[in-house]
Chain A
Amino acid sequence: EAQVTQNPRYLITVTGKKLTVTCSQNMNHEYMSWYRQDPGLGLRQIYYSMNVEVTDKGDVPEGYKVSRKEKRNFPLILESPSPNQTSLYFCASSFIQKGTYEQYFGPGTRLTVT
């Protein structure tokens, strides 16, 4: 089944404790991206990657890191989480070369930082 998976789905952590949210897709998509969703703000892009070893900042990159060592994986790293990073996070992927650009989303990760 074609899908984007994220782990964990729910996470409660404390300020300053490093964490990683994993994202994996099995559709051989070149493009992967992370978004955060906050009430009243819609979804905002954090980072994206056009292909392996190619990443770029989105609209709200502060406090986050990413890496793209393999085509299928795009982990999101919070080195020192803070309460303002409490949010719902989505990973997404899509083809670029095939020119469709429609992004397939993972199920979301609900992060709470206390």
Chain B
Amino acid sequence: AQTVTQSQPEMSVQEAETVTLSCTYDTSESNYYLFWYKQPPSRQMILVIRQEAYKQQNATENRFSVNFQKAAKSFSLKISDSQLGDTAMYFCAFIATAGGGADGLTFGKGTHLIIQP
């Protein structure tokens, strides 16, 4: 069974600062994907960024980037130039993809990120 751990229940930074959210996971699988999802107060789940385990290069999407350390099973999210609209719950998620199929996303418990004006 997979587990995903987010050790920071809540973080608060000033607007325009850079913030890093941590995530570690535990798995015996070799084929998997990792994701960060954002959940604003509207409760909608929004995909922020995706990382394939077989890719060494860290994924980047505009102000969002990850630091993927496969050996350490670490998958942190960095948000640069943070904006008020980044205030949300952030969930780290894992999916194993053995044999071309998939079971389901395993989520961490989330980090509540607050961007202060």
Q: How many residues of A contact B (CB 8 A)?
A: 29
Contact of B44 among A35, A94, A105 (CB under 8 A): A105
- Measured CB to CB, the closest approach of chain B to A74, in angstroms, equals 13
| A71-86 interface code vs B (CB 8 A; 1 in, 0 out) | 0000000000000000
B residues 70-109 in Cβ contact with A at 8 Å = 91, 93, 95, 97, 100-109
B44 and A33 form a contact (CB under 8 A): no
CB neighbours (8 Å) of B100 from chain A are: 96-97, 99
Provided the pairs A102-B47, A102-B50 are in contact, do residues A45 and B105 lie with their beta carbons within 8 angstroms?
yes
A102 and B35 form a contact (CB under 8 A): yes
A residues 22-62 in Cβ contact with B at 8 Å = 31, 33, 35, 40-45, 48, 50, 56, 58-59
CB neighbours (8 Å) of B43 from chain A are: 88, 107-108
A101 and B102 form a contact (CB under 8 A): yes
Contact of A42 among B97, B101, B108 (CB under 8 A): B108
A31 and B102 form a contact (CB under 8 A): yes
Docked Cα-Cα span, A96 to B102, in Å, equals 7
| Residues of chain B whose beta carbon lies under 8 Å from any beta carbon of chain A | 33, 35, 37, 43-45, 47, 50, 91, 93, 95, 97, 100-110
| Residues of chain A whose beta carbon lies under 8 Å from any beta carbon of chain B | 31, 33, 35, 40-45, 48, 50, 56, 58-59, 88, 90, 92, 94, 96-97, 99-105, 107-108
